[in-house]
Amino acid sequence: QVELSESGGGLVRPGDSLRVSCAASGRMSSSSAMAWFRQSPGKEREFVAAVRWSGGSTHYADSVKGRFTISRDKAKNTGYLQMESLNVEDTAVYYCAAGMGVILSSLRMRAAYAYWGQGTQVTVSS
C-alpha cells in the first residue's frame, strides 16, 4: 500500500517556474513508476510525465516536453515535477500517481497506476 501526498502548487504568472512534490509513504518497489497527470475543468485527466523508480528513465507528454522535468529522490521516497515557462494552458489540478510493475507501453495510461494523491492546484494567470 502506498499513500501519496502532493505539495507545492500555487498561483504563478505566465513564464514563471514552479515545482510540485509528491511524498510517498510505503515502499516503492524497483518495478514502480511515478507519474504526474493533470485535469482542467471540463477536460479529462491527462498524462504529463512519468519516471521509472529504479532506473530513473523519464517520459513526457508532447505538450510539456522541454519545459517540465520529472525526477525522484529514492532516499526521500519523493517525486518532483519541475515546471518551467508556464502558460495559462498549464492551469490544472496536478495529480501524482504510483504504480507497481508498470510496463513501458502503459506508462501514459491512468489505469496503470493504482495509487493517487489528492491533487494540487496550479494556476497560471496574469
C-alpha cell at 22: 509528491
pLDDT of residue 30: 80
Q: How far is CA 3 from CA 35, 68, 71, in A?
A: 14, 24, 18
- pLDDT (tens digit per residue) in 74-90: 999 999 999 999 999 99
- The answer on pLDDT for 104 being more than 90 is no
The span from the CA of 63 to the CA of 65, in Å, is 6
- pLDDT (tens digit per residue) in 44-100: 999 999 999 998 899 999 999 999 999 999 999 999 999 999 999 999 999 999 999
Q: Name the residue with cell 518495478.
A: 31
How many other CB atoms sit within 10 Å of the CB of residue 110?
16
